[in-house]
Amino acid sequence: MPSSNMQPKIRIDNLHVVYPGRRGEQVEAVGGVTLDITDGELVCIVGPSGCGKTTLLRVLADLEQPTSGAIQMLQSNPERPLKGTVFQGAGIFPWMTVEQNVAYGLKLRGVPPVERTATARHWIGEIGLERFAQAYPAQLSGGMQQRVGLARAFAFDPEVLLMDEPFGALDAQTRLLLQQTLLQQWERRTKTVVFVTHSIEEALTLGDRVCVMSARPGRLLHEVSVPFARPRDAIALRTDPRFSTLFAEIWDVLRDEVDRARADEVAG
Ligand SMILES: Nc1ncnc2c1ncn2[C@@H]1O[C@H](COP(=O)(O)OP(=O)(O)OP(=O)(O)O)[C@@H](O)[C@H]1O
Ligand SMILES: [Mg+2]
């Protein structure tokens, strides 16, 4: 749901990231990505393994410096944190209860204890873990832990949410349920989301737009505008004939890149 503001929320301009390789060679992870993302847009990025998706997100999260090129992110509300991340594995602290984990970002933001507990409880309710508010992560299943990671991100309420394969390690059913949870929460409280996934289905289910990256050095090869109306239903979508057409269109581009990435790995 893009706003009328013509300036993009995120501007990635000819971004290159080069790492030093193991044998002193240079590994070009990101090879010139240019992309504008509108305020409130949910953009999914797919690409073969090793093509620089995580690197791109790490640059957006300020965890990595570009070798060249630039990124800009517009802050529209100084009261709200600009960015938050959900990376693979829930990234939650094992020594904190569910409630403390969900409230953690609010604590960092200096939100008073009563208010942050109330917000944390609200989000724990939204993800259906009320009974586990005082449990520790080790007492939860992987899918429940991932829900805690989502609740923490939503409680933190950043303008831009950067998500790197957050559901990658989950079984197919839990994954579908969490996609549905993310859709519902995002549709209620729109934020700009950059979501990296290996799953074309997931990208089509969640995204306003799907960007396909090339094998390393990662560039944007292809873009698909996802036509499905919102609110979306993660299950019902799959029976839409456009779903399989778009799947085939993306896979057509991706297949060659996966082959190229494999060949590159074998050549070492
Ligand atoms: N810190 C680093 N030092 C050196 N090389 C790195 C570093 N981080 C990533 N790379 C290399 O950069 C390339 C891109 O890595 P990145 O993790 O961004 O890929 P990816 O697209 O997220 O892959 P996957 O889909 O497997 O998660 C890979 O060749 C990787 O080996
Ligand atoms: Mg990655």
Q: Give the residue, out of 53, 213, 260, with the most ligand 1 atoms within 8 A of its beta carbon, to mutate for a pocket test.
A: 53
Residues ≥6 apart with Cβ < 8 Å to 121: 99, 130, 133
Residues ≥6 apart with Cβ < 8 Å to 48: 213, 215, 254, 257, 258, 260, 261, 262
Average pLDDT, integer, range 153-165: 94
pLDDT, position 90: 66
Ligand 1 contacts CB of residue 58 (under 6 A): no
Q: How far is the CA of 236 from the centre of ligand 2 (A)?
A: 29
Ligand nearest to the CA of 258: 1
Average pLDDT, integer, range 9-32: 95
Report whether pLDDT(2) > 50: no
Confidence of residue 89 (pLDDT cuts 50, 70, 90): confident
Average pLDDT, integer, range 11-18: 98
The pair of three-digit structure tokens given for residue 164, joined into one six-digit string: 């790197």
pLDDT, position 3: 46
pLDDT, position 174: 86
Dump pLDDT digits (tens) for 22-59.
888 999 999 999 999 999 999 999 999 999 999 999 99
Residues ≥6 apart with Cβ < 8 Å to 258: 48, 49, 215
Q: How far is the CA of 114 from the centre of ligand 2 (A)?
A: 37
Q: Give the residue, out of 216, 257, 260, with the most ligand 1 atoms within 8 A of its beta carbon, to mutate for a pocket test.
A: 216
Ligand 1 contacts CB of residue 207 (under 6 A): no
Q: In angstroms, rounded to a whole number, what is the distance separating the alpha carbons of residues 3 and 65?
A: 29
Confidence of residue 268 (pLDDT cuts 50, 70, 90): low
User: What count of other Cβ atoms lies within 10 Å of the Cβ of residue 144?
Assistant: 18
Q: In angstroms, rounded to a whole number, what is the distance separating the alpha carbons of residues 107 and 115?
A: 10
User: What count of other Cβ atoms lies within 10 Å of the Cβ of residue 256?
Assistant: 13
Query: Rounded mean pLDDT of the chain?
Result: 92
Helix (H, G, I), strand (E, B) or coil at 192: strand
Dump pLDDT digits (tens) for 98-119.
999 999 999 999 999 999 999 9
Residues ≥6 apart with Cβ < 8 Å to 32: 14, 15, 16, 69, 217, 219
Q: Tally the residues of the chain.
A: 268
Dump pLDDT digits (tens) for 136-152.
999 999 889 988 998 99
> What does the radius of gyration of the chain's CA atoms come to, in whole angstroms?
19
Average pLDDT, integer, range 228-249: 95
